[in-house]
Structure 1
Amino acid sequence: MTQNPAIALTGHETALALLLEGLAPVAPIELAVTDAIGCIAAPMPPLKTALPARSIAVLDGWALTSIDLAGASSYAPVPLAVAPAWVEAGDTLPQGCDCVLDASAVERAGPLFQVLGEAIPGAGVRRAGEDFAAGAVVIAEGRRIGVTDDMIARKLGLQDVAVRRPRVRLIDVPAAGGNATTIGMIAAQVRAVGAQIDRTVAAGRDTASVAKAIGGADCDLLITIGGTGAGRHDAAVAALATGARLLHGLALQPGRTAAVGRIGAMPVIAMPGAPDQALAVWWTLALPVLDRLSGRAPRRQIVKPLVQKIASQVGVTDVVLVKDVDAGWLPLAIGDLPLSALSQADAWLTVASASEGHATGSPVGVYPLRESL
């Protein structure tokens, strides 16, 4: 089933519903902790024991019992009946000790020790279970694994973690001027969300060459880039239509010439070769599919008021770029993604096809363009 974009455009909501229909998260796999950075965590078993299992020192110093130091000061040192134990950061505290004082807080004269200051229980100490209690889940399911998770996993002695890692096949439909910028950008986006990537270049721009590159694709999401327009050699849609339920021509700006569909149960997205159009299709269609496949928790939106109104055409979903200013979100581009706006933008949002836009001062939720690991 195909649609000529000059005759009818499929709404973004309809296109996304087709892609997500019956789609479930992929099965978890085990990856080395470092390799899992950027991937989405699958369910992990709870900790069997607390961390740390016993109280440990967090600085080098003398292990003491805080109640024995009451009233101690440089003017009224408190002598110790027995020599204190010296511990270093990471050492388990001796039995009965509940604080650690640095070297300058204890004076030694031969076998005699005296303390020059008080301490509260827990000073210089990480108590048993303070990092994680027994039964805690260290990395929540659906969360993106970052560098801090890598550090925590290593601290726990974990060599591997369970993740959901969708397999994405990218097919470059070559153009006379090349799609290097677009294919490279989308490939980087795929890697950034933790998916496994298989990148292929079709032998030509004709239907047979594209169909051959598509044939036998073993992946969770198939993306073609280029060849979706009305040009005489734009054959990506024709090649996909031979074996897919396909909707061509979307009420999405930018991205009108994109197509979506299913080959069996596998979702398929045909992106235009122009970088701005491909990026809009990536944000609004590919990301939701990969979020579903990876079992990712809902993406964070940041809500602030608009400092200028957004006007949108009813019947078309517009992609909007905004900049974070003191008063709220400043729209930079509506239905268009020029490089100048992309270089300044902090976030993006869509205006639903049924809406005429948003008035100045209206609170809107946006998606950050740059996420921290």
Structure 2
Amino acid sequence: MTNAQRLPASLTSLDVALAAALRDVAPVASVELPLAEALGCVAAEMPLLSAHPPRDVAVADGWAMRANDLVGASSYAPLPLTAPPIWVEAGDAMPDGTDCVIDADAVDATGPLVQVLAEAIPGQGVRRAGSDIANGSAMLDTGRRVSARGLLFAQAAGLQTLRVRRPRVRLVNIPGGLATTQFVAASARAAGAELEMRAAAGRDAASIAKALDGGDCDLLLSVGGTGVGRSDATVTALAARGDVLAHGIALQPGRTAALGRIGATPVVALPGAPDQAFAAWWTLARPVLDRLSGQRGRATVQLPLARKIASSVGVAELVLLKRKDDQWVPLAIGELSLDAIARAEAWLLVPGGAEGFAAGTPADGYMVGE
């Protein structure tokens, strides 16, 4: 076994390690952000909204009328009007006393009297007041992530800002793990983090410790240097600056990940290998970020497994899943290729105490896009 393949002498169970990482971690204070900056963040206190639209509006171009006045009108029995109708364009507020919009060709204005040639029903061609947003409703549930659809809702309601939780995350790249660092950075931003990027000058403990120092953040992440090889010094640097809670997690892939604290700030040291970092991100780093964000649960989709999953007892194993014919098809377990990571739609964790799952077992897949 080479130095790069060596593992820590003992492994901490994933459950124990995660509990230690989450201990005393609380949601960060909420901030008010412009709508564009709030995308991906977790909603905090949401204001109660006024009705939208505030009054009935036309959804089609045509003549604004009152439906009860048009009963019996047809091309065979035109209904003469005592007053000319009002023309409205889509989006216009409906004139008082009207409740429908009829097509242009349903009104004949060529003769001495304006005549209506068709009936209508109340609400035809009209969007009712409060039909998009009910008066007193909340834009989003607290603890839910702000999506592009949520921003559309907020813009329609006339909001300029949203109150959200946006944890400050510092991400330290250890030389040699740039591609993995970019993946973690993109994942953290997508999860609503305010990201500060740093690069250690070298792989030695002093350089890494210097990159860990200084500036406030809510979560500190590092990528690379977590093994026990001669050039792996991240855990040594962490120990010099704070406390190492666990190094070596009973997780496959991701065994060389480490957890710690510098002061009150939780630290997750991710391995540099893409597959190990992917697993450690989802099972260790992301739960801490979710706690800081105040997020209430992550999106899962339950489907039966298309085939059996076999796993080794004693180590939690990550399984990549792809949906096919309303079933979860396992793409990879434990050893994750980049191709499988790229094609996966969800992931599933086989607990360390389980030998796997039988075919047909309902499985909650955590969606990798959430």
What is the TM-score when the length of structure 2 is the normalising length? 0.95
Correspondences of 1:148-227 after superposition (within 5 Å): 148-174=149-175, 178-227=176-225
CA contact (8 A) 1:39 1:164 kept: yes
**5+ long unaligned stretches in structure 1:** none
How far apart are residue 252 of structure 1 and its match?
A: 0.5
Amino acid at match of 2:238: L
- What residue in structure 2 maps to residue 122 of structure 1? 123
In the aligned structure 1, how far is the partner of 2:36 from the partner of 2:120?
40
- Once the two structures are TM-superposed, the CA of residue 39 in structure 1 deviates from its matched residue by 1.4
Worse-superposed segment, 34-43 or 162-171: 34-43
Per the alignment, residue 352 of structure 2 pairs with: 353
Mapping of residues 220-369 of structure 1, within 5 Å? 220-242=218-240, 243-369=242-368
In the superposition, relative to structure 1, how do residues 99 and 7 fare at CA in structure 2: closer, same or farther (>3 Å)? same
> Number of paired residues?
364
Find the residue that maps to 2:17 and give its secondary structure: helix
Q: Deviations over 1:94-113 (max 9, x none)?
A: 11111111212222125522
- Counterparts of 1:309 and 1:182, CA distance in 2: 30
Identical-pair percentage: 56
Alpha-carbon shift at residue 143 of structure 1 (Å)? 1.9
1-side partners of 2:233 and 2:54: how far apart? 63
Q: Please tell me the residue identity of whatever aligns with 2:126.
A: V
TM superposition shift of 1:327: 4.7
Check the 8 A contact 2:133/2:157 in 1, yes or no: no
Unaligned runs of 5+ in 2: 1-5
Distance 1:111 1:223 in 2: 80
Inter-partner Cα distance in structure 1 for 2:54 and 2:60: 18
User: Would the aligned equivalents of 1:83 and 1:111 in 2 still touch at CA under 8 Å?
Assistant: no
What TM-score comes out, normalization by structure 1 length?
Answer: 0.94
**Which moves more between the two structures, 63-72 or 246-255?**
63-72
Change (3 A) 1:245 1:228: closer
Q: Distance in 2 between matches of 1:272 and 1:339?
A: 15
- RMSD across aligned C-alpha pairs, in angstroms? 1.5
Matches within 5 A, 1:99-118: 99-110=100-111, 112-118=113-119
Q: Where do 4+ consecutive residues of structure 1 move more than 3 Å?
A: none
Whichever residue aligns with residue 79 of structure 1, its letter is P
Q: 1:6 to 1:155 in 2, by over 3 A?
A: closer
Structure 1 stretch displaced more, 311-320 or 107-116: 107-116
My pick for the range that moved more, 345-354 or 144-153, is: 144-153
Cα distance in 2 between the residues matched to 1:149 and 1:327: 28
Match for residue 143 of structure 1?
Answer: 144
Residues 169 and 217 in structure 1, CA contact (< 8 A), matched pair in contact too = no
Q: Secondary structure at the match of 2:109?
A: strand
* Aligned counterparts of 1:6 and 1:290: Cα–Cα separation in 2: 25
CA contact (8 A) 2:99 2:123 kept: yes
